[in-house]
Structure 1
Amino acid sequence: MESLRIVPGKGDKAATVQDTSNSFGLHDTLKYGPRSLAAEVQSTGKIRDRLENWEATQDNLKLQMQRQLFGLHMPMRLMMERKIVSQNPHMPILPQSNLHLDILMGRDETLECADFMTSASEMAHPLDIHADMEKKLRM
């Protein structure tokens, strides 16, 4: 059973001192020189790891809470609905926004930079639907 984490868990440490340890299990400074903290710290920091995994952890928390409250069918139903909605069979030449998926994910009330900072050239697409349908049929 999954845990009800609010924040993402800690990642595994990549650095070890097993190669430079003495008989007591400590780093041998006289033989191998001072410990390099840069080698022990991963390339990404703790905050960065948390921010990258934040949305997935929050989603997992919500699904686990629904499972405990309503049973296994509720998170399964929500995941099936997300999968169905994410398969978008509409015309690819038209501007795509998956509002249905945003509603199911709980992102319908949030604003991101892409929502209002798009330029007019990105918004204006040539609407040659016939050529796009022919291209889709060739694939």
Structure 2
Amino acid sequence: MSNTLRIAPANETKKATLKDTVNEHGLHDTLRYGPRTLASQHNNRSAIQNRLENWEQTQDDLKLNLYRNVYGLHAPVRLMMERKLVSQNPHFPALPQSNVHLDVLMGRDTTLDVSDFFGGGDPGPAFVDIHRDMEKARNIR
């Protein structure tokens, strides 16, 4: 959580260049930084792509900062603790789950997404052994 009241994400100023990936001999260090195309891939991203990737985090930071300014420090701390508790759900790890509680705390309860209609991807195996999966999650043997 940053202290700025920014509505839109900031432009990223760090650009990856080959100067950042050279070793003491002046050559590109492939073992550390990968091939040259991967090291300079960050330069090819557009400004709108950077903004879209950081949009939700920026909006969440703004909301938490406004809560801190209006209600005090306890409000964002309490909200973050509640989010962390709700996101840790160890029950029935084999079954597909939707975390409605986390959606309510994040403010996404009134929005519709693709995962709301299609279940978020993999439907899971046809035969589910819940007891085995619970033992695996709890490391009981």
Q: Distance in 2 between matches of 1:124 and 1:55?
A: 32
2:109 matched residue in structure 1: 108
C-alpha distance 125-115 of structure 1, shift in aligned 2 (>3 A): farther
Q: In the TM superposition, what whole-angstrom CA distance separates every residue of 1:12-57 from its partner, at most 9, and x where no partner exists?
A: 15279xxxxxxxxxxxxxxxxxxxxxx8x82210100000000000
Number of residue pairs aligned between Structure 1 and Structure 2 = 116
CA pair 124-132 structure 1, distance change in 2 beyond 3 A: closer
Tell me the TM-score normalized by structure 2: 0.70
Q: Is the 8 A contact 2:95 2:124 kept in 1?
A: no
Let me know the Cα RMSD of the aligned residues. 2.8
- Cα displacement (A) at 1:129: 1.8
Which residue pairs with 1:31 in the alignment? none
**1:100 Cα deviation (Å)?**
0.6
Cα displacement (A) at 1:96: 1.2
Q: Secondary structure at the match of 1:42?
A: helix
Hey, what's the Cα distance between the residues in 2 that align with 1:97 and 1:6? 28
Which residue in 1 is equivalent to 2:15? 14
1:133 equivalent in alignment to 2:134 = yes
Deviation at 1:118, TM superposition (A): 4.4
Which residue is equivalent to 2:62? 61
> Residue 10 of structure 1: CA displacement?
1.1
Find out whether 1:94 has 2:90 as its counterpart.
Answer: no
Q: What CA distance in whole angstroms lies between the structure 2 residues aligned with 1:96 and 1:15?
A: 39
1:115 deviation in Å? 1.3
* More deviation, 92-101/123-132: 123-132
State the SS of the aligned residue for 1:2. coil
Secondary structure at the aligned position of 1:8 is classed as coil
1:94·1:125 contact (CA, 8 Å) conserved in 2?
no
Gap regions ≥5 residues in structure 2: 18-39
CA contact (8 A) 1:8 1:57 kept: yes
SS at structure 1 position matched to 2:92: coil
**C-alpha deviations, 1:37-96, integer Å up to 9, x for none?**
xx8x82210100000000000000000000000000000000000011111121111221
Q: Give the alignment of 1:6-85 within 5 angstroms.
A: 6-14=7-15, 42-85=43-86
> Unaligned stretches of 5+ in structure 1?
17-38
Deviation at 1:102, TM superposition (A): 0.6
